[in-house]
Amino acid sequence: MAPLAWQDGNRQNMAVLEVIRTLPDLLGFPVRTITGLSNLTTGAPDPDTRRRYQAAFLPMLVGAGVSMVLLNVLDPALMRVARSSQRIADGTVFSWQ
């Protein structure tokens, strides 16, 4: 991921999501992708801002089909978002259980 603070960081990240979405069709076979979520918030002014933007972008990555995300596993709020995003996107029948 490109830092959001870059001049065109947001545009680059939206392009990365589109590439992740289209790679399997383009190549004709399933692909596995990995990204570093913390790169997105390089230069964030404080931990709350970093957390908020990472939590907002993580479901977008999951929805695009990213295979693996490097993230702060010690952040309980971010881990809740990761688990919830995965449960919604895993293709099975959803249940609150």
Which pLDDT score is estimated for 42?
94
Residue 64's pLDDT is: 95
Cα 7 to its chain centre, rounded Å, is: 20
- If residue 70 lies in a helix (H) or strand (E), which one and from where to where? strand 68-70
pLDDT at residue 89, as a whole number: 87
Q: Token pair for residue 7?
A: 């001049």
C-alpha angle 46-49-54 in degrees, rounded to nearest 5: 125
Q: Which residues of the chain have pLDDT under 70?
A: none
What is the pTM assigned to this prediction? 0.87
Task: Tell me which residue of 42, 68, 67, 66 sits closest to 54, measured CA to CA.
Answer: 42
